[in-house]
Amino acid sequence: MALTDIPSIDELADVTGQSKEQLRKDREAVSEMIRRGDDS
Amino acid sequence: MSDEGGSTNTIDLLLGGVVEPARPVRQRDITRARSSAYIVHGNFRELAGLCENISESGLIVADTATPATDVENEVYRRVHNYVSSLYSYNEQIRNALDNCLDVSVGKEIFLPTAADKSTPLYVQRGAFLWGLRNDFQHGDYWCLSVTQEQTDSETTRYHLRFNKLDFEPTPSGDADSAGRYLAHAPDSAYEYPLPYFGSFHRNLFTEFEAAFESWCERHRK
């Protein structure tokens, strides 16, 4: 089974009303948490 | 705490006034809050995806061939994920504030009393969502029901409804103990939770997240 239906920043901004700039920061934060194992 | 400066920042309002942190806001706490917010946004997208327009009618649209039980289960799953992730986000905010302030920031900051009208609308309206999260965790979510409204050969529309008498946000489970979770909006606002979620997320959650960013930026310098 393939992983599908992952939302883009544009779609999330449209649905949630949050700014794209903030959503990009949020998405980067998730990546950072994963990469660093939250030991920063 | 003092309120000199007349700040309108929601975090300042949450803290009861402008409070200078004793320590700089930690970057790891900001990262945790942002990553939690991203999960909340994603879960809101799933909730909104149930509906024609979550902020207006909140009507859930499903193929008529889909069994009503499957629709109901999917609605509960998405509501559970949204309110649980919102609770986690608030905990990240509380921990971030607790780590940089000299005053202790307890969980009750997100559950104002009925008499406390000075807390931000985000907190007032969020109290109901915290109660739903508790109901899912400790109760049996009988307070929610999915009812069929309209059907034709292709689509069936449903409403998610809330019943105050079956709301059990605390272990004691009685209506009186539920009071603080329902004190900040008229009963009619809770009747159809999906439009409530839509308004909360698109107006109050997004603003609160931006206010936290602004507050952190002010106190990193």
Residue entry with tokens 């990193």: B220
Q: Read off the pLDDT of each residue in B156-185 and give the average, rounded to a whole number.
A: 83
Average pLDDT value for chain B: 91
Residue B168 lies in a domain: yes
pLDDT digits (tens, 9 = 90+) for B85-103: 999 999 999 999 999 999 8
Instruction: Give the number of domains in chain B.
Output: 1
Residue B3 lies in a domain: no
Does B1 score more than 50 pLDDT?
no
Identify the pLDDT of residue B35: 98
Residue B25 lies in a domain: yes
Q: Give me the half-sphere count of Cα atoms (radius 13 Å) on the Cβ side of residue B199.
A: 15
Q: Read off the pLDDT of each residue in B143-170 and give the average, rounded to a whole number.
A: 93
Identify the pLDDT of residue B53: 95
If pLDDT is split at 50, 70 and 90, which confidence band does B4 have?
very low
Is A18's CB within 8 Å of B209's CB? Answer: yes
Give the span between the Cα atoms of B150 and B132, in whole angstroms: 26
Whole-structure pTM value: 0.93
What residues in A contact B45, CB-CB < 8 Å? 7, 11-12, 15-16
A 2-31 → B contacts, CB under 8 A: 7, 11-12, 15-19, 22-23, 25-30
ipTM of the complex: 0.91
| Distance (Å) of CA B157 to CA A14, B146, B188 | 23, 10, 21
What residues in A contact B33, CB-CB < 8 Å? 29
Domain around B23: 10-220
Residue B215 lies in a domain: yes
Residue B1 lies in a domain: no
Identify the pLDDT of residue B211: 97
Identify the pLDDT of residue A37: 64
B155, B62 in Cβ contact below 8 A?
Answer: yes
Residue B43 lies in a domain: yes
Residue B2 lies in a domain: no
Mutate to test the interface with B, among A26, A27, A32 (most CBs of B within 10 A): A26
B25 touches chain A (CB under 8 A): no
